[in-house]
Chains A and B, each alone.
Chain A
Amino acid sequence: MQNAKDLKEYREELKESLDNEFLRTTLDNFAVAYKAGRANAFKDFDLPQLIDDVACAKDAAASRIEELYEEFKKTAEAAGAHVHLAKDADEANRIIADIAKKSDCKTVVKSKSMTAEETLLNHLLEDEGLEVTETDLGEWIIQLRHEGPTHMVMPAIHLSRHQVKDLFSQVTGKEQQSDIDKLVKVARRELRRKYVEADMGVTGANFAIAETGSIGLVTNEGNARLVSTLPRVHVALMGLDKLVPSLDDALKILKVLPRNATGQAITSYVTWITGRNECASAEDGKKEMHFVFLDNGRLEMAKDPVFGEVLRCVRCGACANVCPVYRLVGGHKMGHIYIGAIGLILTYFFHGKEKAKNLVQNCINCEACKDICAGGIDLPGLIKEIHARIQDEDGHALPSILLGKVMKNRKLFHGLLKAAKFARPAVADGEGYLRHLPMMFAKDQASVRCLPWPTTPSATVGKRSSRA
């Protein structure tokens, strides 16, 4: 989450992350393993074609998003489900809290939903006196630690088994061991109880299929199956961008999503739910079913000629997986709620300029994310556009204004270069490096700004090799 007051404070936070050795090692290992796993998962497929299929399907859906919503609503309501449209995060949370109140729910189990993270649903439900338990293992861990996810698919990737051990020891009131298998089993039994007790189950959705009023859920743990089965009320919260016309569109996306996210051909469970299913704990033996769609700027985005393609995002998290900056600082610093390249963009639209203004400066425009994106979104281009918009609104920084003036004026630029030659003896160290640059514009970064002395190249190379 982004709570830094200014760029200086944000840089200090970045430094903390850079000094976290466990995080660095974990993310390094992950970055390497991910690339191999993904390549293997796609080896028998025409990948550009698959990405194009996703982009086309999502663009076509976005172009008639309101129509698809109406179709979904009509079909789902005819099957006895309730369909709600929330214009923003507060309204979505309010709708869900009201459902809980009306149906006399006291306890809630949740499966993973980035949309619920976006609206900070748990905060409101807890304020209303409900007991909310995340059931995805990673989400449960970060819920117990009162923090946000650091990856869209692996929310607790920043934590070690020892940290989880300490946490579970606290939660169970008994000493645990740092054995991952054992820790998973403890979660299995502790969370089992929560499913059994829960009145309401909240899930997200990966697909909302307009034609049949159905949702599709993609999980590995199978928790969404339990969350949508045991409690008597099921609320599925999703962005309007999850709407697709038919099952075939969903299957096209499903072909790419798990392969791009984790290198899996498919997740352990893909669940398709339509209407009010059998539920023995409900009064009439049928589940009380609610679909809550969140707008929060998506309808406007769908019409935007530049940013419309953002709605192609299928939340696979791949743009974080390959981002060199994410790899260095992790998700708490490379995102607000949504993480990675897409996170920088969504933060601006869903959470506002203040949360996004420091984040967007992270992008080094290497385009690794653009190459890997499941929907072929021009992520670096859009981040640059947002950065420019923020600067236009807030005013550009003085160095950047000055540099802009210099770069535009060829004569001035060359004049300054020539003049700088005379300043060289003052900042050079005699070993071929400029070590004493007056870093008045970036005081906190001076230590990394040692540039080779741009004089006779052969002499510099000779010097370096003789030192080696």
Chain B
Amino acid sequence: MTKNIDKEMVDLFRTKAELVSATVAEVADMDAALQYAVELCDSKEACQLLLSGCEENLSGGAEALCETIAQKTICAPELPKKQFDQLKKLSDDKGFNCIAKGMRENLGGIDIGFTRVNLGIAETGSLVLNSCKEEVRIATMLAEIHVAVLKKSDIMADAFAVSDYLKKEMGKEADYHAFITGASRTADIERVLALGVHGPLELHILLLEG
């Protein structure tokens, strides 16, 4: 079945996602998406190895967890082998650590969590991410930047349009799905918006043709 791309829907998705400070870019194919992730990782805080928050005055225990971080790391927990190998090759060239699993050994944090997402919701600029695999959940929460690849044809109008898909998934014995809209945020101190309170500081959405 070939799916049609509704240009208006894609534009709406883009507008809504950018409103909540997501970065939206178009990529021609998966190779370009992988390249994007590696370049992003490369450009990230070039003169600073520390993960966000580690430069602050922390208690002993919190500082110890910061010290477990040795090199820039990309985690792509659900990529098909061929794509993962390609990402790993690109990462190796730059001297980054590229992993598909083992997030529990990296709880101090990683630089980039890379996932393909299942669906998009245009009305709110949200991503629908199957997070049944624990590695996916941890990688997308403990990464400083979440890079998510979304096929344009997978963008739906609103949450009700994804409910058939979601109901089927939730009907399984175990299921964990997330709607993700922008980066992790808080306004708990004086109602001032701050990004990256627990999860990613940035969300990059790569719109894939097709």
- A contact set with B: CB distance below 8 Å: 26, 29-30, 33, 78-80, 135-138, 141, 154-157, 159-161, 164, 171-176, 180-193, 195-196, 209, 211-212, 214, 220-223, 225-226, 229-230, 246-248, 251, 254-255, 262, 265-281, 286
What is the bound-complex CA distance between A296 and B191, given in angstroms? 33
Interface string of B29-70 (1 = CB under 8 A from A): 000000000000000000000001110111101111110000
- Chain B residues, CB < 8 A from A176: 56-57
User: A173, B59: Cβ atoms under 8 Å?
Assistant: yes
User: A189, B170: Cβ atoms under 8 Å?
Assistant: no
B23 within 8 A of A: no
Give B60-93 interface residues, CB cut-off 8 Å to A.
Answer: 61-66
What is the bound-complex CA distance between A49 and B88, given in angstroms? 51
User: B174, A221: Cβ atoms under 8 Å?
Assistant: no
Q: How far is the CB of A35 from chain B (nearest CB, A)?
A: 14
User: B190, A161: Cβ atoms under 8 Å?
Assistant: yes
User: B182, A268: Cβ atoms under 8 Å?
Assistant: yes
User: B59, A222: Cβ atoms under 8 Å?
Assistant: no
- Chain B residues, CB < 8 A from A222: 141, 184, 197-199
B159: nearest residue on chain A (CB-CB)?
A251
- Chain B residues, CB < 8 A from A270: 126, 178-179, 181
- Chain A residues, CB < 8 A from B176: 271-274, 277
User: A272, B188: Cβ atoms under 8 Å?
Assistant: no
B110 within 8 A of A: no
B188: nearest residue on chain A (CB-CB)?
A138
- Chain B residues, CB < 8 A from A187: 197
User: A265, B123: Cβ atoms under 8 Å?
Assistant: yes
Q: Of B56, B179, B192, which is within 8 A of A185 by CB? A: B56
User: B53, A185: Cβ atoms under 8 Å?
Assistant: yes
B1 within 8 A of A: no
Going nearest first, the 4 A-B pairs with the smallest beta carbon separation are A138-B188, A174-B57, A222-B199, A185-B53
With A155-B188, A172-B58 already in contact, the answer to whether A280 and B104 are too (CB < 8 A) is yes
With A274-B172, A275-B174 already in contact, the answer to whether A265 and B197 are too (CB < 8 A) is no
A selection of 8 A-B contacts at a CB cut-off of 8 Å is: A137-B186, A138-B189, A156-B189, A172-B59, A182-B56, A184-B186, A196-B65, A280-B104
B100 within 8 A of A: no
- Chain B residues, CB < 8 A from A209: 170
Q: Of A136, A186, A271, A286, which is within 8 A of B174 by CB? A: A286
B9 within 8 A of A: no
User: A269, B180: Cβ atoms under 8 Å?
Assistant: yes
User: B163, A189: Cβ atoms under 8 Å?
Assistant: no
- Chain B residues, CB < 8 A from A225: 131, 137, 141, 178, 199
A271: nearest residue on chain B (CB-CB)?
B178
- Chain A residues, CB < 8 A from B190: 26, 159-161, 180
* Interface residues of chain B: helix, strand, loop or mixed (majority): loop
Q: How far is the CB of A221 from chain B (nearest CB, A)?
A: 5
- Chain B residues, CB < 8 A from A255: 159
What is the bound-complex CA distance between A180 and B189, given in angstroms? 7
Interface string of B109-143 (1 = CB under 8 A from A): 10000000000000111100001111001100110
- Chain A residues, CB < 8 A from B58: 172, 174, 186, 189-190
Q: How far is the CB of B199 from chain A (nearest CB, A)?
A: 4
What is the bound-complex CA distance between A266 and B178, given in angstroms? 12
User: A137, B197: Cβ atoms under 8 Å?
Assistant: yes
What is the bound-complex CA distance between A167 and B179, given in angstroms? 33
B104: nearest residue on chain A (CB-CB)?
A280
User: A221, B185: Cβ atoms under 8 Å?
Assistant: yes
Q: How far is the CB of A462 from chain B (nearest CB, A)?
A: 46
B8 within 8 A of A: no
- Chain B residues, CB < 8 A from A26: 190-191
Q: How far is the CB of B106 from chain A (nearest CB, A)?
A: 11
- Chain A residues, CB < 8 A from B184: 220-222, 268-269
- Chain B residues, CB < 8 A from A171: 59
- Chain A residues, CB < 8 A from B108: 192
- Chain B residues, CB < 8 A from A173: 59
User: B174, A191: Cβ atoms under 8 Å?
Assistant: no
With A175-B57, A251-B160 already in contact, the answer to whether A220 and B185 are too (CB < 8 A) is yes
Q: Of B52, B63, B134, B191, which is within 8 A of A154 by CB? A: B191
B16 within 8 A of A: yes
- Chain B residues, CB < 8 A from A29: 191
B51: nearest residue on chain A (CB-CB)?
A189
Give B128-180 interface residues, CB cut-off 8 Å to A.
Answer: 131-134, 137-138, 141-142, 159-160, 163, 166-167, 170-180
- Chain A residues, CB < 8 A from B179: 266, 269-271
What is the bound-complex CA distance between A426 and B174, given in angstroms? 79
A186: nearest residue on chain B (CB-CB)?
B56
B183 within 8 A of A: yes
What is the bound-complex CA distance between A274 and B56, given in angstroms? 38
Q: Of A80, A247, A254, which is within 8 A of B170 by CB? A: A247
Give B7-29 interface residues, CB cut-off 8 Å to A.
Answer: 16, 20
User: A272, B178: Cβ atoms under 8 Å?
Assistant: yes
User: A192, B199: Cβ atoms under 8 Å?
Assistant: no
A182, A191, A195, A222 interface centre (most CB from chain B within 10 Å): A222
What is the bound-complex CA distance between A226 and B141, given in angstroms? 7
User: B188, A189: Cβ atoms under 8 Å?
Assistant: no
- Chain B residues, CB < 8 A from A156: 188-189
- Chain A residues, CB < 8 A from B199: 221-222, 225-226, 268-269
Q: How far is the CB of A20 from chain B (nearest CB, A)?
A: 14
- Chain A residues, CB < 8 A from B160: 248, 251
- Chain B residues, CB < 8 A from A175: 57
With A188-B52, A190-B62, A266-B124 already in contact, the answer to whether A277 and B174 are too (CB < 8 A) is yes
Q: How far is the CB of B69 from chain A (nearest CB, A)?
A: 11
What is the bound-complex CA distance between A155 and B166, given in angstroms? 32
User: A268, B183: Cβ atoms under 8 Å?
Assistant: yes
Q: How far is the CB of A305 from chain B (nearest CB, A)?
A: 33
- Chain B residues, CB < 8 A from A266: 124, 126, 179, 181
What is the bound-complex CA distance between A285 and B109, given in angstroms? 22
- Chain A residues, CB < 8 A from B124: 265-266
Additional 19 contacts, C-beta under 8 A, given A196-B107, A230-B107: A136-B188, A154-B188, A154-B191, A172-B57, A174-B57, A174-B58, A174-B59, A182-B56, A193-B62, A209-B170, A222-B184, A223-B197, A225-B199, A226-B142, A229-B138, A265-B124, A266-B181, A271-B179, A280-B104
